[in-house]
Amino acid sequence: MGRTNGLMAVDWEARTDMDRLRRERLARAQAKLDESDMGALLCFDMSNIRYITSTVIGTWAIDKLVRFCVLPRGEKPVIWDFGSAARHHELFCPWLEGRTPAGISTLRGALPPETGRAEDVADKVVHVLREHGLENEPLGVDVVEPVVLFALQARGIHIVDGQQVMQQARTIKTQDEITLLDTACMMADAAYEDLHEALRPGMRENEAVAVVAKRLYDMGSEHVEGVNAISGERCSPHPHLYSDRVIRPGDPAYFDITHAHLGYRTCYYRTFAVGSASRAMVDAYARCRHLLDAALHALRPGITTGDIARLWPAAEEFGFPNEEAAFALQYGHGIGLTVWEKPIISRLVSLDHPEPIEEGMVIALETFWPASDGWSAARIEEQAIVTADGCEVITRFPAEELIIAGRTYFTAGRQLPGIRETQSHYNSNGYEPSSPATTAATIPT
């Protein structure tokens, strides 16, 4: 199902069909709205706006809640955009047929209440609802500033949760969405190749982030949302944030690349050992991979998120008091225009509230295992398309076994082994000097 052809459009090959992408996304949103009790959807969430209208402005606007669109039942959407972006859409987005007026919300409260921006937003929305006779129907809203919510309610509008409708619309991916997701993974494959070549003692975590970001932006990434870079004693517990820590010989280092190609995200962990790996780290990686492979083997239409979650250990089995404390360590999630979409797979929610796995979903599965040394850990993730009879993995940088990154070292008589304790602790209990004839153990590649 997945395939990538390149990052440009060409006349001699059928690649991503953008017109079809726009039509099919809007049709799915309209169909799910028709199945609901709502008269219209009001969206401030940038990803929902993009799904419905195929418009986007800079990623700086993700958290501003300044743009909004209305999708009336049985009608085409109206998008109010930020200043001159509205004029740009009128010129360059013919599929919107001029339904692109300018509009501005409160800038997350930065504009004083007395400016009346919240009331203006409400008036604009109500005008469209009245045009279509929907002012007395429930209005689904995804996310909203309280002052805008209050202004809509003051005009007699009944507000309900619209986020679930949009999540349901976005759960099954279209052919072109799958192509864009696969292409995003291809770009992250390349970033991992650069990272593998660059990793060595003396590199800081933030420098590793820069290596990844450069490759992705060089390839045309729309947005590098984040790069988790976690090394050494920071690996367990997982802090979910990179630092300026300097990588040392024998360190574990794991990374998560989240970026967007034309809006479509990756969530893609890989773990390396730098220079060499301890036996505890090799064991942790093998356990982490086993948990991931069990989930991938089971992933297919007809099972539920609960079936996957049952394959993973309870939080107490790997050092956490409960599932909330261990959330997102043994984890699965849909992925599309945002990193976490339906379905969510976690022992916290999936055992009691399972959701069906369906063909056409794109799901990221990620596992974690702490090493017995108390500070190392492994983290691996694969993205997979759910096919008619199984799944297809689209994250291709190798991860079957623990990879050693960094320089290969040689002594006068041999290559240093790939499996060794992090340093030569001559005074540690049980240490015995090596015989000159000892054959080095290596990790299979």
CATH number at residue 67: 3.40.350.10
Residue 62 lies in a domain: yes
Q: Residue 184: which residues within 8 A CB-CB, separation 6 or more?
A: 259, 260, 261, 264, 265, 266
Let me know whether 167 and 258 are in one domain. no
| pLDDT on residue 427 | 44
Which helix (H) or strand (E) segment is 26 a member of? helix 18-35
Distance from CA of residue 253 to its chain's centroid? Answer: 20
pLDDT tier at 2 (50, 70, 90 boundaries)? low
When pLDDT is averaged across residues 422-433 and rounded to a whole number, the result is: 45
Residue 7 lies in a domain: no
Q: At what angle do helices 175-198 and 205-218 cross, to 10 degrees?
A: 130
Cα angle value 157/80/99 (rounded, 5°): 100
pLDDT tier at 442 (50, 70, 90 boundaries)? very low
The distance between the two most distant Cα atoms of the chain, rounded to a whole number of Å, is 88
345-391 pLDDT, tens digit per residue, is 999 999 999 999 999 999 999 999 999 999 999 999 999 999 999 99
- With CA atoms as reference, report the closest residue to 300 among 360, 382, 351, 347: 360
131-174 pLDDT, tens digit per residue, is 999 999 999 999 999 999 999 999 999 999 999 999 999 999 99
Cα angle value 191/193/197 (rounded, 5°): 115
Residue 347 lies in a domain: yes
pLDDT at 328 over 90: yes
pLDDT tier at 422 (50, 70, 90 boundaries)? low
CA dihedral 196, 198, 203, 209 (to 10 degrees): -70
Let me know whether 219 and 361 are in one domain. yes
Which helix (H) or strand (E) segment is 72 a member of? strand 68-72
Tokens of 378: 């492994």
When pLDDT is averaged across residues 436-444 and rounded to a whole number, the result is: 36
Q: What is d(CA 18, CA 344) in angstroms, rounded to the nearest whole number?
A: 28
Q: What is d(CA 175, CA 157) in angstroms, rounded to the nearest whole number?
A: 37
Let me know whether 34 and 142 are in one domain. yes
238-286 pLDDT, tens digit per residue, is 999 999 999 999 999 999 999 999 999 999 999 999 999 999 999 999 9
Amino acid residing at 98: G
Let me know whether 254 and 381 are in one domain. yes
Residue 359 lies in a domain: yes
pLDDT at 176 over 80: yes
Let me know whether 155 and 28 are in one domain. yes
Q: What is d(CA 99, CA 89) in angstroms, rounded to the nearest whole number?
A: 9
Residue with tokens 């300097």: 246
Residue 80 lies in a domain: yes
Look at residues 171, 201, 216 and tell me which one is the last residue of a structural domain: 171
Residue 416 lies in a domain: no
The range of the structural domain enclosing residue 56 comes to 18-171
When pLDDT is averaged across residues 29-49 and rounded to a whole number, the result is: 98
Mapping DSSP to helix (H, G, I), strand (E, B) and coil, where does residue 367 land? strand
pLDDT at 430 over 70: no
pLDDT tier at 413 (50, 70, 90 boundaries)? confident
Look at residues 154, 171, 188 and tell me which one is the last residue of a structural domain: 171
Let me know whether 236 and 303 are in one domain. yes
Which helix (H) or strand (E) segment is 83 a member of? none
Distances (CA, A) of 267 to 45, 185, 380: 20, 9, 10
Percent of the chain past pLDDT 90, that is, above it, reads: 87
pLDDT at 433 over 60: no
Q: Could you tell me the CATH number of the domain that includes residue 250? A: 3.90.230.10
Let me know whether 113 and 162 are in one domain. yes
Let me know whether 377 and 268 are in one domain. yes
Average pLDDT along the chain: 93
pTM for the whole thing?
A: 0.93
Q: What is d(CA 437, CA 434) in angstroms, rounded to the nearest whole number?
A: 8
Let me know whether 234 and 87 are in one domain. no
- The number of distinct structural domains making up the chain is 2
Tokens of 290: 């086993």
Look at residues 119, 142, 171 and tell me which one is the last residue of a structural domain: 171
| pLDDT on residue 437 | 39
Let me know whether 52 and 165 are in one domain. yes
Residue 441 lies in a domain: no
Let me know whether 95 and 185 are in one domain. no
| pLDDT on residue 1 | 64
Residue 425 lies in a domain: no
| pLDDT on residue 444 | 35
60-70 pLDDT, tens digit per residue, is 998 899 999 99
Let me know whether 310 and 219 are in one domain. yes
